[in-house]
Amino acid sequence: MRELLSIHSIRQLALLEYLMRCSTATIAEISAATGYAPRTLWQDIQEVNGYLAPIRIETTNTGVMLNIPPSLSIRAIYRLLLAGSKEYNLLEYLFLNEGGSLEEVADNLYLSLSTLRRMIAEMNKKLEKHRIKIAVAPTKVIGDELSVSQFYIALFSEKYYNLSDFLQCGEFQTLNLLLNKICKENSWQLTFPDMQKLRVWGYVRLVRMRHNHPIHYTQTLDMLHDYSFLHDQAFLIQFFVTFRMKLDKELLMQMFQLVLGGLHLNTYEQLMFAIKKEPFRKKIFDNVYTLLSALSNEFDISLNNTENLQLDLYNIMQRSHYRHFIIYSRSRQFLEGFGKDYPYVLNIFYEKLQHLRVCHCMPEYFICDDMIYAIITQWPDFLEKIESIIPEIEVGLLFDTDIAHLRFIQKILKKYSTQKLSIAVPNVFATTVGQLPCQELDLLITDIPNLPVKDVEVLCVQEYPSEKDWKRILSTQERIVRQKMQALNNNFMKGAGHLSCNTSS
């Protein structure tokens, strides 16, 4: 939903994202790529450095570069952009302070009334396709309640690393205790990020219910869950004192409808039960299984032990109409990095996803990203297969020292290299240096300066490679592998045509 950002913020985000992709760039290059005037970009750099600290855009001899401290990542950039956005601050204010007048909202956000009216009118045009609207008499956010709740879940998950930064201490503790009781009674084995998601889900729905915004749901899978903790009177009193709301089964279902209502299933056994009870779920599951079967055949890997992956893909497809991020997609960032190393593999994924389009259930591009991310990271045999796809580098060693030294270099080269190497020693007996048989080599490493060898890349190093030598060796190997992977990708694209999902956000 970056379209909700102001034109000013969108321009600065374009500048930052260009620098994220490039180690160094000139203002002229950035201007040509983004379409913004150099003078405007220089002004943006000064402003960005003011609110992104300690992240900075620095000027170098070759241009400008983005300097991110080791303790931070690009994720912090998106978080700070959200924190400084008037549009998203307005939406957060209305979440917590529903029912006031426009004058009250303008005063609390330090905006003029005319500016606020203009903002709301512009934002409503963009929110309409998401089935969300900002009402003004009185002020509140309305629309399809599940869409509204999912929006706020995405916003707070992205803006706050920890919900304890957002909630009051007592609220966080009580909400955490409730989740612990739910997990214990239902034997849920949840990870830290799972708990983070449930905290945000529960709090968003709790506040929305406080303002009388229920979600309409059916209790068709109600028998899957245990609510016996609702008889704990001491905890019920604690919950009421903390949130001023009575905790009962209805409120619990409203808070965690995504989980308790069957939109998100926790175990493969629950999935199988749900499919039997509600046949419409079978179509989603069949599409997931067809996708995995196609990838299994393509990569020649087993479908054994993929139950958790099938469950995760099913849950992703089940929630395919609800956006789970605002301006920073973790799965998109992961795939952009993965795609640089394995473009051939990534295009195979996009090709196999086409069967969902044929079945008229092709999800939004960001759901495609989530599905591919899940497959790459959760398929037990996939990583091993990926490693086998990486091409070898044919490396030749030619040193005018002795065979013992050559073997030593060969051992440390294999030990410290991050790529798969096939190391050979060219047969130079009864020949001259200019006639070395190096045609099959990708790289020749030598200690002989100005070695007269054609049609093969040559690196000249010290007898014991220096730190600079190692950097050159490793960066050259990485570049050669990328070139080979790109060649594989180009061959695939020629045979299959251009197949990819739209990645704009």
Whether residues 280 and 381 fall in one domain = yes
Give the 3-state secondary structure of residue 188. Answer: coil
**Are 178 and 129 found together in one domain?**
no
- Confidence band for 224, pLDDT divided at 50, 70 and 90: low
Task: Judge whether residue 430 has pLDDT over 60.
Answer: no
Whether residues 214 and 107 share a domain: the answer is no
Q: Which of these three, 201, 233, 260, is where a domain ends? A: 260
Distance between CA atoms of 23 and 35, rounded to whole angstroms? 20
| Domain assignment present for 255 | yes
- In this prediction, residue 431 carries a pLDDT of 47
Confidence at 361, pLDDT banded by 50, 70, 90: low
Residues 200 and 233 in one domain: yes
Contact 249, 230 (CB under 8 A): yes
Which residues, other chains included, contact 246 with Cβ-Cβ below 8 Å and sequence gap of 6+? 236, 240
Structural domain ending residue among the three candidates 213, 233, 260? 260
| Cis ω before 214 (30° cut-off from 0) | no
Q: What is the pLDDT of residue 68?
A: 94
Decide which of 46, 81, 116 is a domain's last residue.
Answer: 81
- Indicate whether 127 and 218 sit together in one domain: no
Q: How confident is the model at residue 22 (pLDDT cuts 50, 70, 90)?
A: confident
Question: Considering its fold, how many domains does the chain have in total?
Answer: 5
| Average pLDDT of span 63-67 | 93
Average pLDDT on 113-139 reads 95
* Residue 274 and residue 217 share a domain: no
Each residue's pLDDT tens digit, 480-490:
988 888 887 77
In this predicted model, what pLDDT tens digit does every residue of 286-343 receive, in sequence order?
989 999 999 999 888 999 999 999 999 998 888 777 777 899 999 999 999 888 878 8
For the cut 90, the answer to whether the pLDDT of residue 198 exceeds it is no
pLDDT in the model for residue 493: 61
Q: Is the pLDDT of residue 357 over 70?
A: no
Does one domain contain both 33 and 120? no
Which residue segment(s) compose the domain that 439 sits in?
390-490
- pLDDT at position 266 is 80
**How far apart (Å, rounded) are the C-alpha atoms in residues 172 and 243?**
11
What's the mean per-residue pLDDT of the chain? Answer: 86
Percent of the chain with pLDDT over 90: 48
